[in-house]
A and B are shown apart, each in its own frame.
Chain A
Amino acid sequence: MENRPLEYDYTVTKMFMLTTIILGIVGMLIGVVLAFQMAYPELNLVLGEGLAEYTNFSRLRPLHTDAVIFGFTLSGIFSTWYYVGQRVLKVSMAESGFLMFIGKLHFWLYLVGVAAVVVSLFLGITTSKEYAEFEWPIDIAIVVVWVLFGISIFGLIGIRREKSLYISIWYYIATFLGIAMLYLFNNMEIPTILGESAAGESGIGAWYHSVSMYAGTNDAMVQWWYGHNAVAFGFTVPIVAMIYYFLPKESGQAIYSYKLSLLSFWGLMFVYLWAGGHHLLYSTVPDWVQTMGSIFSVILILPSWGSAINMLLTMKGEWQQVAASPLIKFMILASTFYMFSTLEGPIQAIKSVNAIAHFTDWIVGHVHDGTLGWVGFMIMAALFHMAPRVFKREIYSKSLMATQFWIQTLGIVLYFTSMWIAGITQGMMWRAHDEFGNLAYSFIDTVTILHPYYTIRGVGGLLYLVGFLMFSYNIYKTMSARPVEESELQSASPMGA
């Protein structure tokens, strides 16, 4: 056998890059369709009455959320893990046949899970729990996929050469443990076929149907403990892991303060888990749960901004790089949007503000400036950074990348500003009343007024999707661009014109 020097093995990274892009396109496309259905309801019937079952808003909505959360974002997390993990632990996947096998199995089982989710949700098979719609057979498959991810993480750590775990590794471990705990507890369910009704019937429903083990208020509390912490351990923690690696690496600057990164990590872990109660303000859960959710949400500003400021200060004295490199622009705007949405969230969690914001489009706007601005931008930046290194070719086009940046930024701004106006308008109209306490408006009055803002939101989403297609094309063309030497890859990524 030829005696070749040891190299990092990016096979699994590349596999997950592919699903990041494909599921990103699918999830965002469905999102844009949904946005226009809100503005133009006749689009629910876009493929005719016969297929309306498959094209209506309610059937497509979980497909959008699950495709972007469990498809795009999760693939991005896995893809970056198999890249960052090897590099900061200084150990190659090629050194362990076992870990290589686990990595590939992880990908293929994940793909089976994705297929099962897409088919079942299109067929309308759902547990009806938000962001946890999968029925029990799929839940079990997802647990297996997650265990494989865990074996990969701890397996690589077990054979590492770098003794100290870089801060990103801490965040990846927290992602693994956090989601494992949340997913298991929220999805405790009993197949209906095993149950017996009060009337003595047994074997009820299809074999794959289940009911939650929780009911009423308990179900709501567990659900939002899960829902909010899915944001924590799916949309925050792993994305922080990415930026702590990719921003220093791309800019050639070490993290501004490693100590600050450590203490914001523990601060975030400590505070985030208690904040979920803010989703249930003014509902039938104990008052202390609501107050606790509110208070912890406000405290959450501290560790969030601790990380975000650390990222921005990493560019201290190097701000010319932000102007020069579209890749760094993506990351700096991502951390800026992180600061923005981690301030907006706590404001919405204050009880008096929530009295206006709850159930309105302002919440939808908040979610999207976090996901589009922070999660989406950071994952795309990570793929842009990894592409030249895994394909050993320069990024196909720098100008395409810069154009994409501005188109998508405009898209996000249109999205959240329209939802701000729509949400606050809605909130004010719903609570307006005359001197006798009669409501001033009926629901349809708000719908009529909001129509222009829904259209603007649709356009904003469409711009973001167009940008994502440009990103996909750029990555695709990178695979056949000019090959680069190892020395070009030290920090800033090589880019074609």
Chain B
Amino acid sequence: MDIAELQAYGYFALTVILVVFLYTYIYHLYTKRKDADGHDYEDYGNIALKDDIGDAPVSPMSDDKEK
């Protein structure tokens, strides 16, 4: 097996792995619905709408410190 053939198999394997990762991620998003912090992903859409400097953040940085 020469280097070109190895590269071809490597490329194919990488593509398959990335496809598996992507579909696993999609499956994860739609079954869990919430991220590790317990926020529903759809809540993050409000970050754009409530973006005045005085508005409360959707997931404040200070959450970490309180825990």
Q: Which A residues have a C-beta under 8 Å from some C-beta of B?
A: 5-8, 87-88, 90, 92, 160-164, 166-168, 244-245, 248-249, 252, 254-255, 257-259, 262-263, 266-267, 270, 288, 491
CB B63 to nearest CB in A, in angstroms, measures 6
Cα distance A400–B21 in the bound complex, in angstroms? 49
Cα distance A6–B54 in the bound complex, in angstroms? 8
Find the B residue at minimum CB distance from A251. Answer: B49
Given contacts A90-B55, A263-B22, A263-B25, whether A163 and B61 have CB atoms under 8 Å apart is yes
Of B18, B42, B47, B54, which is within 8 A of A164 by CB? Answer: B47
Cα distance A92–B51 in the bound complex, in angstroms? 11
* A245 contacts across to B, CB distance below 8 A: 48
* A160 contacts across to B, CB distance below 8 A: 61
Find the A residue at minimum CB distance from B42. Answer: A258
A270–B22 touching, CB < 8 Å: yes
CB A387 to nearest CB in B, in angstroms, measures 17
B49–A162 touching, CB < 8 Å: no
Of B48, B60, B62, which is within 8 A of A255 by CB? Answer: B48
A161–B57 touching, CB < 8 Å: yes
A88–B26 touching, CB < 8 Å: no
Find the A residue at minimum CB distance from B64. Answer: A163
Given contacts A8-B53, A266-B25, A267-B22, whether A161 and B45 have CB atoms under 8 Å apart is no
- Is residue B9 within 8 Å, beta carbon to beta carbon, of the partner chain? no
B57–A257 touching, CB < 8 Å: no
Of B41, B51, B55, which is within 8 A of A262 by CB? Answer: B41
B41–A259 touching, CB < 8 Å: yes
A163–B45 touching, CB < 8 Å: no
CB contact list, B22-67 vs A, under 8 A: 22, 25-26, 29-30, 35, 37, 39, 41-49, 51, 53-55, 57-64
Cα distance A325–B43 in the bound complex, in angstroms? 26
Given contacts A162-B47, A168-B48, A254-B48, whether A262 and B29 have CB atoms under 8 Å apart is yes
A263–B61 touching, CB < 8 Å: no
Cα distance A161–B26 in the bound complex, in angstroms? 28
Cα distance A5–B44 in the bound complex, in angstroms? 26
| Dominant SS among interface residues on chain B | helix
Q: Which of B37, B41, B47 has the most CB of A within 10 A?
A: B47
Besides A88-B47, A249-B49, 10 more A-B contacts (Cβ < 8 Å) are A87-B48, A88-B51, A162-B47, A162-B59, A163-B37, A164-B39, A244-B48, A254-B45, A259-B42, A266-B22
* A262 contacts across to B, CB distance below 8 A: 29, 41
Cα distance A255–B46 in the bound complex, in angstroms? 8
Given contacts A162-B60, A163-B60, whether A254 and B41 have CB atoms under 8 Å apart is no
How many chain B residues touch the partner (CB < 8 A)? 31
Cα distance A90–B63 in the bound complex, in angstroms? 15
B51–A263 touching, CB < 8 Å: no
A257–B48 touching, CB < 8 Å: no
* A92 contacts across to B, CB distance below 8 A: 53
Selected A-B contacts with CB under 8 Å, 18 pairs: A7-B53, A88-B51, A90-B53, A160-B61, A161-B60, A162-B60, A162-B61, A166-B44, A166-B48, A167-B44, A244-B48, A249-B48, A254-B42, A258-B43, A259-B42, A263-B29, A267-B22, A491-B49
B58–A162 touching, CB < 8 Å: yes
CB A492 to nearest CB in B, in angstroms, measures 12
Cα distance A162–B56 in the bound complex, in angstroms? 9
Cα distance A254–B42 in the bound complex, in angstroms? 9
B51–A90 touching, CB < 8 Å: yes
Given contacts A6-B53, A90-B55, A262-B29, whether A164 and B45 have CB atoms under 8 Å apart is no
Cα distance A493–B42 in the bound complex, in angstroms? 25
Find the A residue at minimum CB distance from B15. Answer: A274
Find the B residue at minimum CB distance from A254. Answer: B45
* A254 contacts across to B, CB distance below 8 A: 42, 45-46, 48-49
Given contacts A7-B53, A249-B51, A254-B46, whether A164 and B59 have CB atoms under 8 Å apart is yes
Cα distance A344–B43 in the bound complex, in angstroms? 34
* A6 contacts across to B, CB distance below 8 A: 53
Q: Which of A87, A160, A164 has the most CB of B within 10 A?
A: A164
Cα distance A19–B43 in the bound complex, in angstroms? 35
Cα distance A162–B46 in the bound complex, in angstroms? 11
Of B8, B18, B22, B61, which is within 8 A of A161 by CB? Answer: B61
* B55 contacts across to A, CB distance below 8 A: 90
Find the A residue at minimum CB distance from B8. Answer: A288
CB B57 to nearest CB in A, in angstroms, measures 4
Find the B residue at minimum CB distance from A261. Answer: B45
* B53 contacts across to A, CB distance below 8 A: 6-8, 90, 92
Cα distance A5–B43 in the bound complex, in angstroms? 27
Cα distance A108–B61 in the bound complex, in angstroms? 33
